[in-house]
Amino acid sequence: MTRKMLAIAGLALAASATTALTPARAQDDKVSIVVNATQVFGTIDPARINDYTEYMAAVNLYDGLTTVAGDGSIIPQLAESWTVSDDNLTYTFKLKDGATFQDGSPVEASDVVYTLKRLLAINEGPSYLFSKLIDPEKLKVIDSHTVEIGLTKIYAPFLTTTPLILVVNEEAAKANSDDEWASDYIANHSIGAGPYMLASWNRGSQMVIDRYDDYHAGWERGRPIDEIRFVITNDEATVKALATKGELGMSADSQATETYEAIAAMDGYKIIETPTATALYIKMNTKLPPTDDIHVRRAIAYATDYDTIREAIYPGSPLSGPMAPAFADAYPDDLPAPEYNLEKAKEELAKSKYAGQDITLTHSYVAGLSFEEDIALLMQANLEQIGITLDVRPEPWNRITELASQPETTPNTTQVFNGPSYPSPDSVFYVQYDSAAAGTWASMEWLQNPEIDTLIDDARTTTDVDKQNDIYKELQRKIVDLQPDVFLLVENRRYAASDCLQGYEFVPMMSWDTDFSRFTWECRAE
């Protein structure tokens, strides 16, 4: 079958991507909703995506070999089936018949090979999972619908990472760029097989995506969402105003409690709330004085008022270590709950090599998020009581990610949410605490501990599930002992949404719960 390139032009960005906001509506059989995002979409290139907002765009524009169900299980998407060799080093995927890219051309095995080679060559975004695991020479097209992926070593959680293999249209990429990997083109155009196509994008302002009518998974579940307009704002007044005017289809999940309460009181709106596997941490830079001293880190942990944060600032459940209890089989039941105790904080500080000195910490959080500011101010007040000055520095998210690239620029402490980027405990440990992850926003601890690295590698290379879970339990105990983080809470995810929006289900993978092909529109909004 000849690939059709005629529709590529329809995916191009408009010269001016400004689009007037319209209310969430079901009109003329077209459902259009407005969704606010609190951070800019830095990129839509699936080889470069790095944070929650970028993943939210990617999961709607692209499909992976597999996807994730609400219970965390891996289910078919572009791949309809797969087999694993006896030595656990070769994975063979059979692609679904009839799946097409958004230009109408078929998804083929060669596209998967191109996607993975491109990901490895660019070496950004999700590549940290695959760079030392997949050898480009071990990627094979068996036939047009069969692809073989050879690993360099056993990696037990491999299947849990395959939703991140977001397949790119090779022919479209090469037809629109002289660059082998079409980086400039893919940075501004969607050329995937996902449920939605990029219609317009005004960086820093909004992005509009439209439903792909011929999406391979179909649209038979109910009345689909035809258009999503992502509006970039973290201003609470703006979000409430959107709801007041009936324009808000669904909010971001990081609004202030007062905003949720105000919207919940409005006619036609509801609050969606669910437990998650996402945790809120204060990440402490173990390479930068004075948080290089474990006693300073323990003092900060004791000076944290966990109950007030969870009950008055940001709802959540207790967190005793680096991983949320959602991964129940790998969670130890003997971790002590963090304790708020200023006297113990003073005792720890007195044990440190900085005892008797003036201690100042740099502390960052995402600017513009009121609950983040409230947590920072509470920390500042508490730490002052034990003799520590907290230099609070609100920063835009892109600045925080830049600062995280070097230990000397990473703040002493930073408030960060982190949830599984793939549904495995490995995502918690490798992404945050392995030395290979250092220099990313998720690993601002700069732990780089050989014993921790060895345990993570041991868990990755054992296929015995019970042994794997025992290793994860040991990892958690050792990380708690090292205190690289203050373990604030497990997030209760909340969205304000139109009563008409149905089908939300929490998915234990970063932003996969905002795949809008899973939603339906069950009523008519005025």
| CATH code: domain of residue 362 | 3.10.105.10
294 vs 115, 263, 349, CA distance in Å? 43, 43, 9
pLDDT for 234 equals 84
Cα–Cα dist 463/155, whole Å: 8
In a shared domain, residues 460 and 503: no
Give the residue from 461, 460, 452, 407 showing the smallest Cα distance to 432.
Answer: 452
Q: How many CB atoms lie within 10 A of CB 124?
A: 15
Same domain flag for 22 and 163: yes
Instruction: Identify whether residues 95 and 178 lie together within a single domain.
Output: yes
Do the domain assignments include residue 331? yes
Residue 72, number of CB atoms within 10 A of its CB: 18
Would you call the peptide bond into 76 cis, given omega within 30 degrees of 0 as the criterion? no
Q: How far apart are CA 489 and CA 281, in angstroms?
A: 7
* Residue 193 token pair: 């097989």
Identify the pLDDT of residue 27.
52
Q: Is residue 74 part of a domain?
A: yes
Give the residue ranges of the chain where pLDDT is below 50: 1-23, 26, 525-526
Same domain, 56 and 152: yes
Q: What pairs with residue 179 in β-bridges?
A: none
Which domain does 38 fall in, by range?
6-231+499-521
Specify the CATH number for the domain of residue 174: 3.40.190.10
Spatial CA neighbour of 76 closest among 259, 287, 219, 217: 217
Is 239 within a domain? no
Q: Is residue 190 part of a domain?
A: yes
pTM for this prediction = 0.83
Q: Give the per-residue pLDDT at 505.
A: 93
Q: Are residues 53 and 117 in the same domain?
A: yes
> Based on the number of CB atoms within 10 Å of its own CB, is 313 exposed (0-12), middle (13-18) or buried (19 or more)?
buried
The pLDDT value given to residue 526: 42
Number of structural domains (the chain) is: 2
Select from 445, 419, 387 the least CA-distant residue to 506.
419
Statement to judge: residues 478 and 513 lie in one domain = no
Give me the helices (H) in 123-213, please: 127-130, 158-161, 170-175, 183-186
Structure tokens at 418: 């982190």
